[in-house]
A and B are shown apart, each in its own frame.
Chain A
């Protein structure tokens, strides 16, 4: 069993094309997760367009995919109308709600294709698009156990873990972990001190081979953006350390950050990780990068 994880969009909030963001990329959130022949897609930001184009080059007669959306803010859904495989009749895509009866994501995906916003109606997509759901927070799909966790973000958001044969990948973006810390004032008073991550989320991420986490802000930026729904990158390092994950991909890069800024953010996070556990692999998610897990 092998998970292949590929980053198609790593930018937060709004696409940022241009030479300043060339290395990490300007497309918004989209991560492909393949387990043998099963395709999972985490979020459908603008990176989804390129994933769609690539899927069509792989020689499959039919494509079946399972969409897991962190939430439905623009930067996580805008790629869907440009996802070419959705226009091809023999393909099937499942769009998962968090529980039975939760059709919110499915309906917002279709809503963004109303004629006010887009020239092609959702009903004209010729593939089979199915509103599916997790069962009580978990569902096993082709042997992969998918579990959901509600995060801290304006309008709500969800993290997902994917587990098979002892290997685990967690996708957790748009999550202001800092607002869940038991003593946020201490972070300002002593930014070096480890920050206690709440047990529930730590357990959810525990032992992951790969944690893909929103890590949008530098410490000094965060103080001006409390409540915007994104964490300090350094807090994500503490999550990764306390959850004993093997590697953490810093994700959802701030649209105001060029490659040089992201490099600096990664360097600071590596330095923080190395003080406690030099074995923790910290890196910046970037478009065109894929990892093999297992």
Chain B
């Protein structure tokens, strides 16, 4: 057997040094978004940065919507420890519909439709930083 090293010598335990370029690992945090697709001012996006929002007709709400279909305080959106948002109907007059189902509460997922009276939103789930 020859002692000279060849490229495919399986017995050669030496390692060549190379330069490694790391692929970018995104740690970017993107907020969840409530996209109003139907309603006053639509189209419009509401970015959800805070842990809790109250949506309703009252100007005192975190997300005031100027529509008489909505109760003054219609629904709350609260961030769970998992980072997901839980929506709870505040005993509104016209109810809350998620994907067409009248709900008391729902943990929202990407693409869910949320209807409050004639106002329609699409929920876009954000990405939390690790």
Interface residues of A (CB under 8 A from B): 4, 6, 22-23, 247, 281, 283, 287-292
Interface residues of B in 73-129 (CB under 8 A from A): 84, 86, 89, 98-107, 109
Q: How far is B109's CA from A23's CA once the two chains are assembled, in angstroms?
A: 6
User: Does the CB pair A291–B109 fall under 8 Å?
Assistant: no
Interface of A, secondary structure class, is: strand
Task: List the 3 closest A-B pairs by CB distance, nearest first.
Answer: A288-B107, A292-B104, A290-B104
- Decide: A289 near B89, CB < 8 A? Known: A281-B101, A283-B101: no
Note all chain B residues with C-beta closer than 8 A to A291: 101-104
Let me know if B86 and A288 touch, CB within 8 A.
yes
CB < 8 Å: which of A6, A22, A247, A289 contacts B98?
Answer: A289
Q: How far is the CA of A159 from the CA of B101 in the complex (A)?
A: 24
B107, A289: Cβ atoms closer than 8 Å: yes
Alpha-carbon separation in the docked complex, A127 to B105 (Å):
30
| A22 pairs with B89, CB closer than 8 A | no
Cross-chain contact A288 with B101 (CB below 8 angstroms): no
The 26 sampled A-B contact pairs (Cβ below 8 Å) are A6-B104, A6-B105, A22-B109, A23-B109, A247-B101, A281-B101, A283-B99, A283-B101, A287-B107, A288-B84, A288-B86, A288-B106, A289-B98, A289-B101, A289-B103, A289-B105, A289-B106, A289-B107, A290-B103, A290-B104, A290-B105, A290-B106, A291-B101, A291-B102, A291-B104, A292-B104
**Residues 33-47 (chain B) with a chain A CB within 8 angstroms:** none
Question: Given the complex, which residues of A lie within 8 Å of B104, measured CB to CB?
Answer: 4, 6, 290-292
**Minimum CB distance partner of A270 in chain B:** B100
Q: Which one, B86, B89, B100, contacts A292 given CB within 8 A?
A: B89
Known pairs A291-B103, A292-B89 / 12 extra A-B pairs, C-beta < 8 Å: A6-B104, A6-B105, A22-B109, A283-B99, A287-B107, A288-B106, A288-B107, A289-B103, A289-B105, A290-B104, A290-B105, A290-B106
Q: Which residues of B contact A283 (CB under 8 A)?
A: 99-101
- Closest-by-CB residue of B relative to A266 is B99
A contact residues around B102 at 8 Å (CB)? 291
Tell me, in angstroms, the Cα distance from A22 to B86 when the chains sit together. Answer: 15
B residues near A247, Cβ cutoff 8 Å: 101
A292 and B86 alpha carbons, distance in the complex (Å) = 16
Inter-chain CA distance A283–B112, complex, in Å, is 13
Distance (whole angstroms) from the CB of B22 to the closest CB of chain A:
25
Q: Which residue of B lies closest to A288 (CB)?
A: B107
Across the two chains, which residue of chain A brings its CB closest to B80? A288
Give bound CA distance, A247 to B106, whole Å. Answer: 17
Bound-state CA distance A283–B97 (Å) is 12
Residues of A within 8 A of B86 (CB): 288
Most B Cβ at <10 Å: residue of A6, A287, A291? A291
CB distance from A35 to the nearest CB of B (A): 13
Residues on B with beta carbons closer than 8 Å to the beta carbon of A4: 104
Chain A residue contacts of B100, Cβ below 8 A: 283
Minimum distance in angstroms from A151 CB to a CB of chain B: 25
Q: Considering only CB atoms, which chain A residue lies closest to B108 in the complex?
A: A288
A22 to B107, CA, bound (A): 11
- Report the bound CA distance from A281 to B106 in whole Å: 17
Q: Output the residue of A4, A247, A288 with the most chain B CB within 10 A.
A: A288
Determine the chain B residues whose CB is within 8 A of the CB of A290 once the complex forms: 103-106
Chain B residues in 8 Å Cβ range of A281: 101
Q: Which of B86, B104, B105 has the most CB of A within 10 A?
A: B104
| Cβ of B87 to closest chain A Cβ, rounded Å | 10
Please give, as numbers and ranges, the residues of chain B lying within 8 Å of A292 by CB-CB distance.
89, 104
Shortest CB distance B68–A (Å): 23
